[in-house]
Amino acid sequence: MSDKPDNNFNGPGDFIDLLERSGYSWPSAIQGLTTIDKASVLQGTTVLAFHFKDGVIVAGDRRATAGSAIMYERCDKVIPIDDYSLMAIAGVPATAFEMARILSHNFEYYRRSQLQPLSTEGKIRALSKLLKDNIGLALQGVGAVSPIFVTYDTKEAKPYIYFYDLLGAQFEIQTHTATGSGSPVIRGILEYENLWGSKTLAERNLKGAAQLAIRLLQTAAQFDSATGQARPEDKIYPIIASITEKGYRFMPEDELAALFLESTKRK
């Protein structure tokens, strides 16, 4: 068998194609949408990702809203897809979580059926396909998802960040990206830090990168009501994960608590 992964999504390693042949169909639209209050649809924001010294840091706040109402303060917006891939979500969690489950099964199905992991190109195209199939719901305003996909290519020994628009177009990110309602503030600060900070983003270690992520989300929450602030008294902290040559790792709560205290202390 060839060592080169087969990226043809019509082949036997495509779990998405298997679902379709088994009768599963991704809903492209909802009939009778006029009876649905769009303001009641749960939305999740804000997430970010940037390259640091050893890989990529991925982070998100924990708030989920429906219109102007705060519905949930412990939403996990960074989702593992496989040992070397994470998806950070902004938009409708129900749609995003379903996409994440399908992607996870797709990657594992390919690995087992083809006896090799899916390539980075294949991974990014798989998410693009799901987003394209979701155009109907996105345009109706009840299923829009704007994700960030992060993966580490073990063959190239290189991490990748991809940003997607609502229609499935993917863009490789060389330095940093953010999406969600709090992202304009975050993108501005990241650009400033990368250009004129004490170190570029790519020169920072894991601790420095995680501290910056905490401060970014706290700052975004000052200007955007849909972005939740950390609440140490309730043990609510941002979700922070890293992707390196060792795979993904989520920071545990005790580590986040100590890091948050240090990051937000006035000098």
> What is the set of active-site residues?
45
Cα 189 from Cα 178, distance rounded (Å)? 11
Q: Spell out the alpha helix ranges (H) of the chain.
A: 15-21, 93-114, 120-133, 135-140, 183-196, 206-223, 253-263
Cα 42 from Cα 98, distance rounded (Å)? 14
Q: How far is CA 55 from CA 37, 137, 190, 205, 246, in A?
A: 41, 34, 16, 9, 10
Q: Which long-range contacts (CB under 8 A, 24 or more apart) does 19-24 make?
A: 19/102
CA atoms within 13 A on the CB side of 45: 25
DSSP 173-222: ESSEEEESTTHHHHHHHHHHHHHHSSS-GGG--HHHHHHHHHHHHHHHHH
What is the maximum alpha-carbon separation in the chain?
A: 60
Whether omega for the bond prior to residue 120 falls within 30 degrees of 0, making it cis, is no
Q: What are phi and psi of 117, to 5 degrees?
A: -70, 155
Cα 127 from Cα 147, distance rounded (Å)? 9
